[in-house]
A = this chain, B = another copy of it.
Amino acid sequence: MADPDDDLRWRVLARTAVHDYRIFRALAVRAAHPRTGAARDFTVLDTPDWVNVVALTPADEVVLIRQYRHGAERVHVEIPGGMVDPGEAHAAAARRELAEETGYTATTWRHVGTVEPTPAIHGNRLYTWLALDAVVTTACAHDPGEVITTFTAPLAEVTAMLRDGRIDHALVVAAFAHLALAAGELRRPDRG
């Protein structure tokens, strides 16, 4: 059967390292146009995989963090998460990041979704995990570059924060979309 994507795929001619930024590596990609064959240059960032965690307490409150982000130059409300270490399973990275960033651990875990953060530029995946009955059992272990505060909020309050933009980190919004999809349907808004 014909593959409907055949005439969409660029053929990669070359991938050249430009600069290593530690948290990602810039590559110059030369690729052939899928229809005309004409070569064109693109920049992509080779980036490690990421995880994030929707952790719910026994009272179904969400474990949230506040953290300054250097790209946006302000403090964001987020869920815990971080980079998957080389050779680490994303299931293990989710457990590690939750504990290191917040001190919370949980016994019940479910993988609720995987997204590609910005596939036009980044080549990595973000794995979202749901942790149930999360409780504080350990001390935080922040990286030298991490300054984080932790708090909890009921799911209804998190919904309000997503709606009014207090939570506007796209990867956090996507995580809650996968949580909602695990529970029910997306709907279209009423007109007007």
Contacts and interface: CB of A to CB of B under 8 A. Distances in A.
Count the copies.
2
B188 A183 contact: yes
Nearest to A69: B119
Interface in A24-49: 24, 26, 29, 31, 33-35, 40, 42-45
Nearest to A148: B8
Indicate the size class of the contact surface on chain A: 35 or more
B169 A116 contact: yes
Contacts of A43: 21-24
Contacts of A186: 155, 158-159, 162, 176-177, 179-180, 183
A104 to B, nearest CB: 17
Contact of A173 (B115, B158, B185, B188): B115
A8 B77 CA distance: 12
B145 A163 contact: no
Interface string A70-106: 1111111000000000000000000000000000000
Given A10-B70, A188-B183, A115 B169 contact: yes
Contacts of A187: 155, 179-180, 183-184
Contacts of A56: 188
B178 A173 contact: yes
Contacts of A75: 5, 8-9
